[in-house]
Amino acid sequence: MTEVVEIDGYENDGEKLVVVGDEKATNQISFQLAQDFYNEITGKSERLRELNSDPFILKLHDIEQLHHRLIQSTEQYNIVSFHETYTVNYVDDSSERHSSLERLKLHNGAKGAAVEEFIASYNILIILPKTNRPQEYKITVKLASRVAKIEEMREQIGSMPFEIPLFQLENANAAAFSIDYVDSTVANALMSVLKSWFNTVEKNSISSSVKTIRKLSHFVPKLTKYSLLSLTCYSIWKLSEVYLVANVDAKTTTLFALLSVLCAYLSIRFGVFAGSKAEVALDSIYEQSYINFSGADDNFIKNSSSKIRASKIKALLSLGGTVVVGVGCSLFANWLGS
């Protein structure tokens, strides 16, 4: 029985070939035909997939560019059919499906809700030069709004007694490209088109200093606790020079010791409280990656941006409050001791 024994093939004078039968057989076919035979016999196709976590700002004209790029890249082939489908999922759990780019542009923004996920699917039938039948290539581009996902999680954990670092969700893949194919050469060419298109989509980012501070945010409660405790101990030492003088009675010494312990305890508790608030606020600052198709998306992004600004202000106020309390205690102790 004769069968394809090595689908990977080998190079011969620049052309990839596959041996049919045993190794001594002289019958050779191109790798393109071998892949076509495999698909025709088994009905199976291969899949090529790429993931990306870069923060992006997707707009409607980017989808138009993707459509034009795919049309141009497939002009070299004999195209039997080119069918497209666009699926838009919204934050209110509703969705819409459009059969063409024109319909997508026509109904864009009619829903009145922000977009949570966008999926573009292209089914292309291609007849390659060395084959006599059309091969199906299914291209899927899936883009998720990181802002929509994170804000949804923020609402879910709002009533919970614990916090989740929202910025860690930035590592999740927001873009996925997949191609179900028969011929790997065509698939790789199409994937390069998708990747080059995604590189042209506007990217978003936050400053490197904010990223560094976020990574160290779990040290903030310890920093504020021990910093405030150190300043309190310094204040107590300065006050001891005033109240713990020679011939001081036992009552004054006892009261001073008790108040010193109380101040040290309060400084620890306030330092931990302020540091925890600053940590939570820093963890809520994230890179915005979103889909902007309509005014509803604009409003949703503005709301998210205001929450991020509020987190920055809370972090600054928490850290600033700790500094003010610590320095104020030190100045007060120096004033009493002067």
Residue 106, CB half-sphere, CA atoms under 13 Å: how many? 7
240 compared with 95, residue with greater pLDDT = 95
Confidence of residue 34 (pLDDT cuts 50, 70, 90): low
Q: Average pLDDT of 58-79?
A: 92
Torsion over CA of 121, 123, 128 and 133, rounded to 10 degrees?
160
Query: Residues of the chain with pLDDT > 70: what percent?
Result: 82
CA angle 201-204-208, nearest 5°? 140
| Alpha-carbon span 202 to 199, nearest angstrom | 8
- For residue 115, what are the contacts with CB-CB under 8 A and spacing of at least 6? 88, 89, 90, 91, 145, 148, 291, 293, 294, 297
**Per residue in 109-160, pLDDT tens?**
777 889 999 999 999 998 887 777 788 899 999 999 988 888 887 877 766 6
CA distances in angstroms from 258 to 241, 247, 261, 266, listed in the order given: 16, 19, 5, 12
| Alpha-carbon span 3 to 257, nearest angstrom | 92
* String of DSSP letters for 3-27: -B--SS-EEETTEEEEEBSSTT---
Question: At 325, is the secondary structure helix, strand, or coil?
Answer: helix
Statement: residue 285 has pLDDT above 80: yes
Q: What is the largest CA-CA distance in the chain?
A: 113
Classify residue 250 by burial, with Cβ atoms within 10 Å: 0-12, 13-18, 19+: exposed
* Cα distance between the two ends of the chain: 105
The enclosing H or E element of 165 equals none
Q: What is the pTM of this model?
A: 0.75
